[in-house]
Structure 1
Amino acid sequence: MKYGQHILAFCLWIGSATAYAQCGFLAGKVTDISGSEALKASLSAKTDQGKVRLGKTDSSGIFNVEMPCNVSVLTIEAPQYQSLHIPLNSDGKTEGTYFVAFALMPLGKQTSDEPYAQSEQKHFELKDSVRTPTSIIRRIEVRDALSNQSLAADICLYFTQKEKKDCFSLLVTRPTAEIVFTEKDIVAVEVKSAGYQAYNGNLILDKTDQEPRTYIIKLSKQHTFLSVNILNAQQGTRAQLVEDSRLIVPLNRINDGHYFAEVAPGKSYSFGVSGTDQADFSTAVASLKEGLTLKSLRIPDRKAVLPVKENPKTELGNVSGKTLYFPRSDYKLPPQSRDYLDSLALFVQNNKDKGLEITGHTDNVGNPNLNLTLSEYRVRVITRYLINKGVSEKLITAAGMGSKHPVRPNDTEENRRLNRRVEVQIIDLSEKK
């Protein structure tokens, strides 16, 4: 999936040292409601210690931020767009990286005779504050921001002049309400609909025309997401999400170990995993609450040892994906890795349907830009060695990620050692095509 590859390749690491306990990472993309325009947005979290700023997206709308522990609500904000407040839930211990995509709805600007979001309110006074009897007829409809379908909703109007509150309901069978305003006023508008984010706006009524017109207020859904991180996923891992009625739910696949999906709140799901090198595995996801639910899991080790296939190509080299570790600030080829790389080169040359993905990483010590360069040099050293051993450059995909994707928290020297690594994965070129 191109979207998943794009996120994985360009996630921006934001921040270094933090003053709060860290429970994993959150990565993804922020767009407008149509999904076509990337947004520059900021992310923050509500925790036991108050509001914590997490970071910002880059120019492509991509983010990758540390997650504090005990987060109850995530907030995504972008200029000229409605803020998104999404509850955060966890199914078990949170660790590793979770992916998700957020969409924001544009704000209406402060204007006359049209509802607009309260966050856009600027100082305004009615030019004629004298209560002159009049008859201003307006209609209100509430619609889904994406599908434009009419919604059942509860609406409350707060009148400034009268200091009065008036509430009424819209039904799907009666989606329009007609209101007669008897004087100029500034009116606060509150709209609520089940399964949608609440709307809080203002309405400036400073005209006295008697021509009826319709206000259309659009609401965006209160989305419910499940984001899954398979901690020990291997190459070729495949996942499936099934709703309790046996309906298969579409999954967004980032890579072998990371998936997310939009689901329905209040329903239970089964998350199943299968793969050539791991046992089939399925786990239940309890009734999901509105918001974003994070779940990490480990696939149990295969109990039975698979028989060795009598295939010369498979036996040749006897290799699989491997992680190579580097000393601090060093990109020289580790001597102990030469035997493995020699076998790997021979294996790829004799298995024409195989290719390689090589990804370099560092710990978080030092300048992030220098760490990115260091990871690229480490990848280059491995790649150049394999090319010199006869592997075609066309069969290798290589990238340096810097300190963006640690496998362990950078809190001890042993953990930092495990983060200074180059991951080599054997890929099936026929599946990639």
Structure 2
Amino acid sequence: MIMSKASTVVVSSPTASCLRLTGVVLDFTSRRPLSADFYIQTPGGRRQVGRSLDETGTFTLNLDCGVRMLIIERTGYRTQTLGLNTKVKSNQTDAVSVIIPLLAVDRQGSDQPYLQTEQTHFVQPTAQEVIKGRQPNAFAVTDALTGRAVPAQVCFISTESGKKQCLTSDNSGIVTTSFTQRDIVALEVIASGYQSYQGNFIVDVLDGQLRKHHIRLLRSLTILSVQAASAAYQYVLRSESGGKEIKLTGVPGYPETFVAYELLPQRYQLLVINGQGTVQERRLITVLSGLNTVSVSGLEKVTGSTVTSPAPGWNPADSLPALYFQQSSYELLQQSETVLKEVAALLRSNPNYTLHLTGHTDNEGDERLNLVLSEFRANVVAAYLRRQGVADKQLVRSWRGSQLPVAPNDREENRAKNRRVSLSLVRNTP
């Protein structure tokens, strides 16, 4: 039975309650509160166990010991799942607070992928109306929450001919293909550990211009909920394999609980940082797929500074030459490969350094496509360095589209300076 109470929804369970789960449901992009339905799978089928409120997105669930998986749904959004491991439930006496992010579905549009559930009426051209031409496309497959590239198999099925073509993405998650007639193409994307993506793609314009697309894959949520000793501190995760630090977010309405949901299941170092930016405490934790909980009480105290001097004999500049690209291209130039071979040698001999590389574009064209192009440029550089023997954990990628120009975009000479990947070396703290 579901009972509404003030700003939450409480669910009574027919058996003993093992876990009291509270929190909010938010739109992943806008962070707007959402009303969503919660379900569990039982031998008799799916059963609804709660709903978050429209105005605040808040919910409270009392879950029995047999629940292994939560299913979260809202019309217009992709279904999320959250695994509930036994260790969390058996060790938890207080409520666990979380943020549940929901991702809006991709709507039908011309020359862009969208979920098959969003297909509406579309008239295919007749034989007499077939327009000849070519539409080259690049599809970037990424993790929907972290934005990381995902190696995947992408299959294209033509509605017009029935022909099926399957391609495997490179390490940067990119697949390229061209279409030569107007069509509705079905997409099937499969990647280990992720929900399969079933989508459609309307090929409508055959003008020879490269089009860049994102296919975002969902996996079961991986959430860390930290019961904090004080809301005055910052709580940060640092992956053992490198990459950017992840700052935990406060749960609205729960001032001493901080969460992260843009996570991969792996080992992290949890850092507690005071108002002066000093690391006060730390702990090594293993984050599993599903719900994870940690209390900061009893963490190991950090003594002394965590910053050490650069390796003797090598004092690199913290900024390296930028790598430049042709208009609308992410192909490496020969001079860029020469620079990257030298950078790779430095990184291989100095594993305690990380290279931060950021893709950029000029301001020509659609900014959404510019952002994708800047990502492709960063991915291509990272892939080249990996082929040169650089460890993936030494590479931190980001992309900014046309948002950070180094020169005015007023003439071609200046725009060429903005079509770049910037490189910066950073020494890792132990």
TM-score by length of 1: 0.50
User: 1:11-410 to 2 correspondence within 5 Å?
Assistant: 12-15=7-10, 17-19=12-14, 22-58=17-53, 59-92=55-88, 93=90, 94-122=92-120, 124=122, 126=124, 128=126, 134-142=132-140, 144=142, 152-172=151-171, 175=174, 177-182=176-181, 184-192=182-190, 198-205=196-203, 207=204, 209-219=206-216, 222=219, 223-227=221-225, 250-252=247-249, 258-262=257-261, 263-267=263-267, 287-293=286-292
Residues 52-107 of structure 1: per-residue CA shift (max 9 Å, x gap): 21222221222222324333332222332222233332325155421111222222
Deviation at 1:197, TM superposition (A): 5.4
- Give the 3-state SS of the residue equivalent to 2:287 in structure 1: coil
The structure whose Rg is larger is 1
Matched residue SS, 1:27: strand
The superposition leaves residues 171-198 of structure 1 with CA deviations (integer Å, 9 ceiling, x where unpaired) of 256835132244x433221234567654
Report how many residues are paired. Answer: 280
CA contact (8 A) 2:133 2:208 kept: no
The alpha carbon displacement at 1:200 in A equals 2.4
Q: Which residue of 1 aligns with 2:411?
A: none
Shift of 1:18: 4.2
Q: Distance in 2 between matches of 1:34 and 1:154?
A: 26
Q: Any unmatched runs of 5+ in structure 1?
A: 1-9, 273-280, 300-433
**What TM-score does the superposition give when structure 2 sets the normalisation length?**
0.50
Measured against aligned partners, the alpha-carbon deviations of 1:281-328 in whole angstroms (never above 9, x if no partner) come to 99985x4332323579999xxxxxxxxxxxxxxxxxxxxxxxxxxxxx
SS at match of 1:37: coil
Contact kept in structure 2, 1:40 and 1:61, CA below 8 Å: yes
- Provide the aligned C-alpha RMSD in A: 4.8
For residues 125 and 65 of structure 1, do their structure 2 counterparts lie closer, same or farther at Cα, with a shift above 3 Å needed? farther
Task: Rate the CA distance shift 1:237–1:96 in 2: closer, same or farther, 3 A.
Answer: farther
CA separation in 2, counterparts of 1:236 and 1:104? 26
Q: Distance in 1 between matches of 2:128 and 2:62?
A: 55
Q: Please report how far the alpha carbon of residue 155 of structure 1 lies from its aligned counterpart in structure 2 after TM superposition.
A: 1.3
Could you say if the C-alpha distance between residues 236 and 226 of structure 1 is closer, same or farther in structure 2, counting changes exceeding 3 Å? closer
Q: Aligned-pair distance for 1:114?
A: 2.6
**2:117 alignment partner, SS class:** helix
Where 1:23 maps in the other structure, the secondary structure is strand
Distance 1:61 1:86 in 2: 17
> What is the CA–CA distance in structure 2 between the aligned matches of 1:127 and 1:47, rounded to whole Å?
47
In the superposition, relative to structure 1, how do residues 253 and 103 fare at CA in structure 2: closer, same or farther (>3 Å)? closer
Cα distance in structure 2, aligned partners of 1:295 and 1:51: 30
8 A contact 1:154–1:168 mirrored in 2: yes
8 Å contact 1:105–1:220 — kept in the other structure?
no
Gaps of 5+ in 2: 273-280, 299-430
Distance in 2 between the 1:16 and 1:269 partners?
35
1:11–1:63 contact (8 Å) kept in structure 2: no
Partner residue of 2:417?
Answer: none
For 1:244 and 1:155, the matched residues in 2 are separated by 29
Separation of aligned partners in 1, 2:76 and 2:27: 11
